Every structure is written in C-alpha cells, then in structure tokens.
Amino acid sequence: MAAHLIVLFLFSVLKGVHSITTVSKVSVKAGKSISIPCLYHYQYTDHVKYLCEGYYWMSCSYAVKTNEADPSGKYLISDDKKHQIFTVTINNLTNQNSDYWCGLENTALDNRAYFQLLVTNGTPSLYVDHQRITGYIGENITIRCHHSNSGEMKWCRLDRNCVTGSSGSMDGTTVSTDMRDPNIFTVTMSGLKSNDSGWYWCAEGDIQIPVYLTVTEKFNTTTTPTTISITSHAVAGNGKLTTMEQWNNFTIVENKQHRASFPPKILIIPLSVLIMIVIVVLFIWFILRHKQSKAESSATAMVGEEVTYSEVRTKKKCSPKAVTEVTYSEVRPMKKRSPKAEGKETEVTYSTLANLY
C-alpha cells in the first residue's frame, strides 16, 4: 500500500497538477449500479479516457474506454468535453468489484485517480434516494442523504467548495442543511441557476455518494389548455416528465386539438356539386331510357299487324239453265314476318270470287 502511494506522490510532483479528480470511497449495495464522475484537466479534452480495474494501477486491467465499447454491457463510459468530466457506470456490482482507477491516455505516463467501492449485501452506510435528480431554474430542490454512522456530514461540489454547517453558499446558490432526523442529512439548494448543473456528493467522513443535478427551465403548464393536458399526464404517470417527453406530449395533444377543430363547412361546396352531378346523370339516363322503350313498343306493334285485302264482285243472276254455281277462291297462307324484314311492305293475300255462268 505504501509503495503505490509513494509512486502516486512522485507522479503528481512530476506532472505539477492533479490531472484527475474523483471520489475516494463509495458504499453501494450488491446487484445495483453506480456512476462515478472523473474530472480532468482541460488540456486532456481530446485524450482517450478509460476505467481500469485492480488495486495497483501498474497492473490493473482495462474495463472500458471512450473509444471502445464494452460488449458485455457491465461497464459504460461517457465524456462531457464541455465541462471536462467523464463518467463511468458499473452495473450489477458484486463483492469482487472494489478497486478501480479513472484514467486518461497520455503521450508519456497515463494519468489516473483511484477510488474504492464498498460493496455490501445489506444497506449501504451512505446512499441517496436517486443518484440523478432534476431541478428548475429559480426554484428549490431537496436531496436526502441516508447514513448509518454519526460522523460529520457535508455537501460538496466536484472540485469545488463544501458546505459543512447548517447553511452556506455554492457559486452564489444558497445551501441549507438539516439533521433533525438522526439518519437523514437533508440538503436544500434555493434559487437554482442553470450553471448549478453538475456533479455533487454527500460525504460522511471519507465515504461519499455522488449525485448529478440537472437544472433546466421549467415547462410552462398554465398558459394554455394544451399544457394543462400535459400536467394531467404527468400526474397520471406517477412521475416527472423530462423536457423532451413534455415537448413530445405537447405536440401530440396539440395535433389532436387541431384535428378536432377541423371545420366541416368546407365540405358543403364539393358535396353539393357531387349531388348536382348525380341528379343530372340520372335525368339524362331516364330520358334516354324512355325514348328507347317507346321505340321498342312502336316496332313491336308494326310487326304484329296483319292486313287482308278482299275483292268482292256482285253476283249476277243465274239463268235458269245453270244447274250448278261454282266459286273459286285463291287463298295464300300469310308468313310470319321476321325481325330482319322491318321496313319492308306488309305481306298481302288476295282472294277472288267469281260467278260462273
């Protein structure tokens, strides 16, 4: 132990600055996850960052790098180059996961910072309800740090000052603490500003628990009925909506409102034109149908008509000498007229009656 501390001291002297700052000890429950922030010097913004596992940094093994993802999903790493902080997340912790290093690659010796995880099967000695919380500009936020020991409690910002008493200030933001409950250290930050976003930690002795605070503009829920619907959705979901989720819900509700207010009057004109077209078409069809029916009836009547011509001559008185009177008659059968014969003259049958003297 003494040997590696001596090496770290000499390394720090040679570099002249502490290139990485992180927590020292974190108590966490087995099977859970933990995120650890690692603050680095701005001159290493474009360098590769990594998490190394092992007690001695000369022999530790790489767990994950910013340029190489961990295929197992146990380790995650992200780099906030704007604020020079990279964050490592370790999932599904076991008792074997205890010693780690935040590191960054350098042209000479790599820069690293050691931290230890105190993994327990029971309740951690120091923990918070949520490791990531959201506050709103101009409002207050309260963080509850649960602890089991009776050491001095303090609230610190990563690489900044700490508040140890009942009240204090961090970058112009008022901080008050309360320890009325013997096992809960309550921290309240009042009048939040956007630059209050970042990593903090509760500390009891040499044990810390990191907390990431996001300060954002509060979404307006009172200006229009649409935003009121969003508020109802958040309450029904039994949780807070993120800014992006609120905006998505706002868009959906607003679209529904526009669809509901669609004016039906714009359908009257095209509907009227369609009705007129249907009426005209039906009228023309009725006229044409009537003419066709009348023509068919006339043609049928002409086909069925029969005409018979008969010539009758006056019978002269027969002389006494005539014994028998004979009459000849010529009758020709009338043929039925085929449809093709339309337009031709009607067939006529002539009959002749003559007196025989």
Domains present along the chain, CATH in parentheses: 2-120 (2.60.40.10), 125-218 (2.60.40.10)
CB 279 within 8 A of CB 320: no
Lowest mean pLDDT among 41-45, 218-222, 288-292: 218-222
Most confident of the ranges 38-42, 180-184, 340-344? 38-42
Query: Which pLDDT score, from 0 to 100, does residue 344 have?
Result: 46
Q: What is the pLDDT of residues 77-128, one digit of tens each?
A: 999 999 999 999 999 998 888 999 999 988 667 788 999 999 999 999 999 9
Query: What are the backbone dihedrals phi and psi of residue 48, each rounded to the nearest 5 degrees, phi first?
Result: -75, 130
Tokens of 265: 């009057």
- Region 329-347: mean pLDDT is 49
For the entire predicted model, the pTM comes to 0.57
Lowest mean pLDDT among 23-27, 106-110, 275-279: 106-110
pLDDT at 76 over 80: yes
Sign of the alpha-carbon dihedral angle for 306, 311, 317, 320: negative
Cα–chain center distance at 173: 37
Q: What is the pLDDT of residues 202-254, one digit of tens each?
A: 999 889 999 999 999 987 755 444 443 433 343 344 444 444 444 444 444 44
CA distances from 103 to 21, 214, 245, 331 (A): 10, 25, 35, 132
Query: What are the backbone dihedrals phi and psi of residue 247, each rounded to the nearest 5 degrees, phi first?
Result: -65, -40
Express the helix, strand and coil content of the chain in percent, nearest 5 each: 25, 30, 45
Query: Which pLDDT score, from 0 to 100, does residue 57 have?
Result: 83
